[in-house]
Structure 1
Amino acid sequence: MTHSPTGSTLAEAEAFLAAHPEIEAFDIVLHDANGIGRGKIIRRHELAGLYTGGRHLPISILGLDIVGEDVHETGLIWDQGDGDLRAWPIPGTLKALHGTNPPRGEVLMSMYHLDGAEMTSDPRHALARQVRAMADEGVHPAGAFELEFFLLDPTFGEDGYPRPAAAVLDGRRSGWTEVYSVDHLHGMEPLFSDIYRAAEAMGIKAETVISEYAPGQYELTLHYRTDVMQAADDLVRLKRIVRLQARRHGVVACFMAKPIERYAGSGMHFHVSLQDGAGRNVFAEQTEGQWTDTILHALGGLRATMGDSMLVFAPHANSWRRFAAQSYAPVSPSWGVNNRSVALRIPAGAVAARRIEHRPSGVDANPYLVAATVLAGIRHGLRHRIDPGPETTGNGYAGGDDLPIPVDWRQAIRAAQDSAFLKDALGADMHRTFTAIKAAELARVARTIADVDYDLYLHTV
């Protein structure tokens, strides 16, 4: 097949090359089940061929674990002879990278079979499938992600643990939780200026930055999109931008869910609403505070499916260290209004902007799979008109919940493997691929002897 199934055209590439004669090479980036960007760097003269014929990539690129090792149980390695499929550029994602030397560009890719059919272990296709299903039902999702992360020193402290990076402006160090401190942000101003410039070059509307609830922790918000695929693209690209620009300034951008034991972890909250064909927000109530059946049923669906879905929201061993009482990470599938102790929050604000803030996901989650699963949960609630139950008021950590969710990674993997809902939400191929990768990673962690083993047992048993 030589016609792009994504709708990308040679004209886009030619116009970009004409506008950017300085660019010498391009990162071509495909995101796997873990949300890791994999691909190649091609030279300038190869770009036209990418748009006319795609690029052959091995099918195994979608069957890798977190460290890039083959997971044979996905069925994407030797069962397929590790043959090549074809990746195609995503229209509108060809952009210049800021601050690279020599100058480079970047384009996002998606995987297809050689005949042009979607390769459904590609996470983008899982999200696209849910968006199409919602369109068939007469609604269109809009949303945005929040990006929390740590900026760390490239060397560990004397205690052997990560430590917050010194200010890139003047080398000043702080070990305090400088939450919402504007003066503290000034120390990282040169880095954040480069992040904003890089985001602007890519057409990403990065907005507010805050000093978050741990030493060295920050949050960047993103502009609300009427296209949730673009919202997910914004998130994965912003992570690459932050990581690259931090590296250029001599610090480490860390997207672990819980990098420092005694402090809060990093979330990836997903704000989502639904629009009808005329662009009206169907979550918005006529009278403020008198919730529509639509938003209540959406909440009901998200609550009912959260237990099956937690592996998507907390996909790694470290992800589960983030969940703790009084940590701003939810520990039950609760919902509430203007309340940060719940999993599903209706934020304060204008009625026209009414939305659900989905708070369980860590920043280590794959935003394509998170969005696909959240949309499927909303569809489930709307289809079955599920009552979300009473609103949680006050301290959401204080009480229990009648809808239990997994308490650790192993339980989450088992729940995901057995879930008919998640299989439908992600599609059979993506579900098989994702759960097989997670099971392989669990086995890797289980056979690894951690430092705590030596601390507890070396001289005692």
Structure 2
Amino acid sequence: MTASPSGSLLSEALEFLDQHPEIEAVDIVLTDANGIGRGKIIRRHELAGLYENGRHLPISILGLDIVGEDVHETGLIWDAGDGDLRAWPIPGTLVPLYGTNPPRGQVLLSMYDLDGNPMTSDPRHALKRQVEAFAARGLYPAGAFELEFFLLANERDSEGRVQPARAVLDGRASGKTEVYSVDHLHGMEPLFSDIYKAAEAQRIPAETVISEYAPGQYELTLNYRKDILRAADDLLMLKRLVRMQARRHGVTACFMAKPIEAYAGSGMHLHVSMQDGDGNNVFTEATDGEWNPLLLNSLGGLAETIAESMLVFAPHANSWRRFVSQSYAPVAPTWGVNNRSVALRVPAGSKNARRIEHRPSGVDANPYLVAATVLAGIAKGIDEKCDPGPETTGNGYECERASGAEMPADWFSAIKAAETSTFLRDALGEDMHRTFTAIKRAEYLRVARTVSELDYHLYLHEV
């Protein structure tokens, strides 16, 4: 038996097998740069071996693009001979999958070199490194993600476009923006009931469900975690189970940032705060009416680094269709209090719950990389005492940040900014930065050379 560098213990696997004699197989899931789960399904009798010795998986898994093609520029394919490294279970993520037949479980993995050192193109290690850097300061990041998504019909409409799913309860259709409608939620009650049961089985703290600001759009919130690594695990596991339960109910859970052009896109807002060793929130103001300097400096660091970090927050071609004025997606690196038109929001509420809501990320982003980049921005702000500038009040879409800093205008601009960013290279680590930017450039070239239906619509008979 080899000591697990992830901290996983054989006793966790044996206890799980004892508690779940019905489970026949287990999904073992490694998360790549795009946030896609890749791995295998192993049989019940193989689980103990995974915990004893890890599992060899090809290094190339972490060098794949969105469609699963090798990106040779990552250096993870033939430069390494497509050799195997060793994946180990992430403690606390071995769970049953609700509703599977035959019954299965699931465990998340993280990749390590054969000598046990972290494989630094694994996105979870990028976040773990930032968490450890804060621990060395005596600070501990806490947080939670919000999950916005669409429930779509499996069939397209007569013009080939996606359309909102009918209610799974009675088949009722609605093309309305049923924002905050409780009655509308009732039509999806059987699906959300199963989602909550699945979340409970996986110990995911899923809470409020909302009918969001577009036909077929919903939001699930997650309870705050003292460990932001676990908060990112929660988000990945929740996306997986929502997709699975939706499929079982005959609809499609869509995590594109902007699936329907006429309506708002889907965000993945990250709420983040800092605790000291005694569990106190260090963003809390010491004097009523005066913002904590650490909070302001953190906002300043995040504002200063948004432009060069946008590729992490908006990683795909479709991501950039979400950033439209008055769409609830931010278009400038602004901050404000109780204001949803800004990029960095300080929510209303008790000062003891003081936190930053980071709003740029789409639901298509990788939560590990998002959280790693946000923490690095906060660290920069604290170290350099960055000034966030004046608070944005009122309509943030009509304001520009005083410094004149701007977000990239499009995906390719974001790729170029990320490739040359010293900050992002340090935030993600050199290997993860190279892997991520190489994958994004390869995906951009794939999109750029594709002749689409839009090309035919615009040019076929006109030029």
Q: Which amino acid aligns with 2:71?
A: V
Distance in 1 (alpha carbons) for counterparts of 2:48 and 2:215: 46
Corresponding residue number in structure 1 for 2:457: 455
Distance in 2 (alpha carbons) for counterparts of 1:29 and 1:276: 33
Corresponding residue number in structure 1 for 2:221: 221
Corresponding residue number in structure 2 for 1:286: 286
Per the alignment, in what secondary structure is the counterpart of residue 264 of structure 2? coil
Shift of 1:288: 3.8
Corresponding residue number in structure 2 for 1:22: 22
Q: Which amino acid aligns with 2:339?
A: N
What CA deviation, in whole Å up to 9, does each residue of 1:173-213 have, x standing for no partner?
00000000000000000000000000000001100000000
Per the alignment, in what secondary structure is the counterpart of residue 396 of structure 2? coil
CA contact (8 A) 2:130 2:427 kept: yes
Q: Which amino acid aligns with 1:411?
A: S
Corresponding residue number in structure 2 for 1:432: 434
Matches within 5 A, 1:146-185: 146-185=146-185
Per the alignment, in what secondary structure is the counterpart of residue 173 of structure 1? coil
What CA deviation, in whole Å up to 9, does each residue of 1:342-383 have, x standing for no partner?
000000011110000000000000000000000000000000
Query: Structure 1 length as normaliser, TM-score?
Result: 0.99
Q: Which amino acid aligns with 1:231?
A: A
Aligned length: 461
Corresponding residue number in structure 1 for 2:352: 352
Shift of 1:399: 2.2
Per the alignment, in what secondary structure is the counterpart of residue 397 of structure 1? helix
Shift of 1:136: 0.7
Per the alignment, in what secondary structure is the counterpart of residue 397 of structure 2? coil
Matches within 5 A, 1:318-397: 318-397=318-397
Distance in 2 (alpha carbons) for counterparts of 1:451 and 1:290: 55
Distance in 1 (alpha carbons) for counterparts of 2:112 and 2:455: 45
Q: Which amino acid aligns with 2:452?
A: A
Corresponding residue number in structure 2 for 1:248: 248
Shift of 1:138: 1.6
Corresponding residue number in structure 1 for 2:312: 312
Any unmatched runs of 5+ in structure 1? none
Corresponding residue number in structure 2 for 1:413: 415
Distance in 1 (alpha carbons) for counterparts of 2:433 and 2:148: 27
Q: Which amino acid aligns with 2:326?
A: Q
Distance in 2 (alpha carbons) for counterparts of 1:7 and 1:148: 32
Identify the range of structure 1 (312-321 vs 285-294) with the bigger mean alpha-carbon deviation.
285-294
Shift of 1:119: 0.2
1:79 and 2:82 are equivalent in the alignment: no
Task: Report runs of 4+ in structure 1 exceeding 2 Å deviation.
Answer: 286-289
Q: Which amino acid aligns with 1:428?
A: E
Distance in 2 (alpha carbons) for counterparts of 1:83 and 1:207: 42
Per the alignment, in what secondary structure is the counterpart of residue 38 of structure 2? strand
CA contact (8 A) 2:154 2:252 kept: yes
Q: Which amino acid aligns with 2:140?
A: H
Distance in 2 (alpha carbons) for counterparts of 1:289 and 1:142: 24
Shift of 1:290: 1.5
Distance in 2 (alpha carbons) for counterparts of 1:385 and 1:399: 24
Q: Which amino acid aligns with 2:380?
A: H
Pick closer, same or farther for the CA change 1:288–1:208 going to 2, 3 Å.
farther
Distance in 2 (alpha carbons) for counterparts of 1:70 and 1:379: 34
Corresponding residue number in structure 2 for 1:59: 59
Corresponding residue number in structure 2 for 1:100: 100
Identify the range of structure 1 (132-141 vs 375-384) with the bigger mean alpha-carbon deviation.
132-141
Corresponding residue number in structure 2 for 1:38: 38
Distance in 2 (alpha carbons) for counterparts of 1:205 and 1:288: 32
Shift of 1:395: 0.3
Identify the range of structure 1 (293-302 vs 449-458) with the bigger mean alpha-carbon deviation.
449-458
CA RMSD of aligned residues (A): 0.7
Distance in 1 (alpha carbons) for counterparts of 2:12 and 2:134: 29
Distance in 1 (alpha carbons) for counterparts of 2:288 and 2:124: 36
What CA deviation, in whole Å up to 9, does each residue of 1:320-344 have, x standing for no partner?
0000001000000000000000000
Distance in 2 (alpha carbons) for counterparts of 1:399 and 1:277: 38
Corresponding residue number in structure 2 for 1:133: 133
Q: Which amino acid aligns with 1:7?
A: G
Shift of 1:159: 2.3
Shift of 1:160: 1.5
Distance in 1 (alpha carbons) for counterparts of 2:23 and 2:166: 33
Shift of 1:3: 1.4
Counting aligned pairs with the same residue, the percent is 75
Corresponding residue number in structure 2 for 1:210: 210
1:300 and 2:300 are equivalent in the alignment: yes
Shift of 1:2: 1.8
CA contact (8 A) 2:392 2:399 kept: no
CA contact (8 A) 2:308 2:424 kept: yes
Shift of 1:91: 1.0
Corresponding residue number in structure 2 for 1:190: 190
What CA deviation, in whole Å up to 9, does each residue of 1:4-60 have, x standing for no partner?
101111111111101100000000000000000000000000001000010000000
Distance in 2 (alpha carbons) for counterparts of 1:433 and 1:406: 21
Distance in 2 (alpha carbons) for counterparts of 1:10 and 1:452: 54
Shift of 1:92: 1.1
Corresponding residue number in structure 2 for 1:444: 446
Shift of 1:430: 0.2
What CA deviation, in whole Å up to 9, does each residue of 1:224-243 have, x standing for no partner?
00000000000000000100
1:70 and 2:74 are equivalent in the alignment: no
What CA deviation, in whole Å up to 9, does each residue of 1:395-451 have, x standing for no partner?
000122311121100000000000000000000000000000000000000000111
Any unmatched runs of 5+ in structure 2? none
Distance in 2 (alpha carbons) for counterparts of 1:137 and 1:449: 51
Query: Structure 2 length as normaliser, TM-score?
Result: 0.99
Q: Which amino acid aligns with 2:117?
A: A
